[in-house]
Amino acid sequence: MLVSATFELLRNYVKERMKIMKLTLYLNDYETEKLFSYLRWLFVLLSVILFYVPPFSENVATNKDVFPYLLASGCLYMLITQIALFRMKDDKKHLKMVLKLGIAFDYIALIWLMALSGGIHSPLYPISILFVLHATIYWRTRGAFISMLMFSGAYIIMGYFMVDLAQFENYYPAALNLFFLSIIGLFGALIMLRERTHYIQKEAYHDLVHRDYLSGLFNHRSFQEKLKQNCTSGKRFCLLLGDIDDFKKVNDEQGHQKGDEVIKAAGEIFESICDRYNGQAFRYGGEEFALMFPEKTIPEMKGLMDELFATFAKTTILPLSMSFGESCSDEGNVPEELLSLADQRLYKAKQAGKKRVCLRNGELFEGVTESPTPYLVSN
């Protein structure tokens, strides 16, 4: 029953990925680690069967006294990893740390598990190939060779202390295992490196199509796709449409290069605040930007906008001033309608004196912090 459930989980996961990735096996680091995390649970299940379920437990020499400690620590680690993967999906810095710790855990757990299930004769030896491939993903060629050397060294030490390596029945299978690990691990690593190279190239092409080069944000095409996706899925969200005040004067009086610097600075501000509020930012076109956030109450949106206005005021290039219009998914699920509402409210904010947001209820909010002095306003 448990075996069937585990295989069904893996089958559904792969099926889901194939559908999302349009029948391609190119996975990013996060999705790859999710797959490895599921495989860990599968190997835990296989280990329990090997240690406790006849006829496996009757025909394989295992240490059942120590195995529960490994099982408990392994399950605890994997549970923590699953939670960390879920929470750190968009936190690339800490996610990479979790991924590399996962490789170290795999190494320790594999050596420990093999020592408890027959040492160099353990039927779990083939897992070592996955360990090499896992290390190759994050450390490339260096990871492949270091992981093979580390495992081979531990394997030989295990054999030295657990059996008499001078005997043919011990050194012959040990030598064959290490030989095949080297061959399969090397070719597997080469295939894995090629796959990762193709994936990086694919992501680079994707960025060229979906990101705006100047601001670093997603472009207009990506915005339209995301807006349609959110509306179709019934996801509750807020849309902000913003426009840099008096931007034409920046280009006319200080040059287009200065205008480019302002666009870039605005992009960095939007990206930063979207990271904090779990949103997405887009360059809609010219000096216009669009932001989408999970649904927020009006007080929550005021707090977000107050922080945004305060950040604009601290920019070193020019004290940015922007106007915004807000719409919300509860006003309709048609992309064109939400965009039109946000655009109308943006116009209302402009007409009311700029550097403010017109919220979904029609309220004009300027922020509670000291407003920045509008740049390049000349009489």
Q: Is residue 374 part of a domain?
A: no
User: Do 199 and 250 lie in a common domain?
Assistant: no
pLDDT at 313 over 50: yes
CATH of the domain at 267: 3.30.70.270
Asked which of 163-167, 183-187, 295-299 is least confident by mean pLDDT, the reply is 183-187
In which band, very low, low, confident or very high, does the pLDDT at 103 lie, cut at 50, 70 and 90? confident
Domain match, 131 and 225 both: no
Contacts of 107 (CB under 8 A, 6+ apart): 131, 147, 150, 151, 154
Which whole number is the average pLDDT over 339-346? 94
One domain, residues 64 and 204: yes
Residue 97, SS3 per DSSP: helix
Q: Is 287 a catalytic residue?
A: yes
Does residue 226 share a domain with residue 169? Answer: no
How much is the average pLDDT of 266-280?
Answer: 90
Residue 379: inside a domain: no
Task: Report the pLDDT averaged over residues 275-287.
Answer: 90
In this predicted structure, the answer to whether residue 154 has a pLDDT above a threshold of 90 is yes
**Same domain? 241 vs 161:** no
Same domain, 236 and 189: no
259 and 130 in a single domain? The answer is no
pLDDT computed for residue 102 by the predictor:
79
378 within domain boundaries? no
Using the predicted structure, report yes or no on whether residue 105 has a pLDDT greater than 90.
no
Q: Are the C-beta atoms of residues 90 and 275 closer than 8 Å to each other?
A: yes
Query: What pLDDT is attached to residue 283?
Result: 93
Q: For residues 97 and 225, which has the higher predicted lDDT (pLDDT)?
A: 225
**94 and 162 part of one domain:** yes
What is residue 26's predicted lDDT score, i.e. its pLDDT? 59
Boundaries of domain holding 323: 220-365
Whole-number pLDDT of residue 239 = 94
Is the pLDDT at 303 greater than 60, yes or no? yes
Report CA torsion sign: 167, 173, 178, 182. positive
Residues 199 and 230 in one domain: no
Model confidence at 134: pLDDT above 70 = yes
Residue 323 lies in a domain: yes
Q: Which of 160, 192, 210 is the last residue of a domain?
A: 210
The tokens for 369 are 């912090």
Where helices occur in 211-324 by DSSP H, the ranges are 220-233, 247-254, 256-277, 298-313
Q: Is 229 left (phi over 0), alpha (psi -120 to 50) or beta?
A: alpha
Which residue type, as a one-letter code, is found at position 328? C
Residue 249 lies in a domain: yes
Q: Of 156, 175, 210, which one is at a domain's C-terminal end?
A: 210
325 and 353 in a single domain? The answer is yes
- Distances, alpha carbon 351 to alpha carbons 368, 372, 377, in Å: 20, 18, 16
Q: Which of 210, 245, 275 delimits the end of a domain?
A: 210
What is the model's pLDDT at position 326?
95
Instruction: State yes or no: pLDDT of 18 exceeds 50.
Output: no
- Structure tokens that stand for 54 in this block: 């006849």
Query: Does residue 239 share a domain with residue 185?
Result: no
Cis bond upstream, residue 173 (ω within 30): no
Residue 141 forms part of a structural domain: yes
Q: Spell out the residues 6+ positions from residue 184 whose beta carbon is closer than 8 angstroms to its own.
A: 129
Residue 291: inside a domain? yes
Contacts made by residues 8-15, CB under 8 angstroms, sequence distance 24+: 9/38, 10/38, 10/39, 10/42, 13/38
Beta partners for residue 218, in sequence order: 211, 282
Residue 319 has pLDDT above 80, yes or no: no
User: Is 266 in the same domain as 196?
Assistant: no
User: Which 8-state DSSP code applies to residue 331?
Assistant: G
**What confidence score (pLDDT) does residue 346 get?**
94
For Cα atoms 18, 227, 313, give the angle at the middle one, nearest 5 degrees: 120
Please give the share of the chain, as a percent, with pLDDT higher than 90: 35
| pLDDT score of 31 more than 50 | yes
Number of domains in the chain: 2
Catalytic residue, chosen from 31, 195, 268, 287, is 287
For residue 182, tell me if it sits in a domain.
yes
Enter the pTM of the model.
Answer: 0.55
Structure-token pair, residue 307: 């922080």
Q: Is the pLDDT of residue 2 over 70?
A: no
- On average, the pLDDT of the chain sits at 83
User: Which helix H or strand E contains 327, and what residues bound it?
Assistant: strand 322-328
Q: What is the pLDDT of residues 47-100, one digit of tens each?
A: 999 999 999 888 888 899 999 999 999 898 888 877 877 776 666 666 677 777
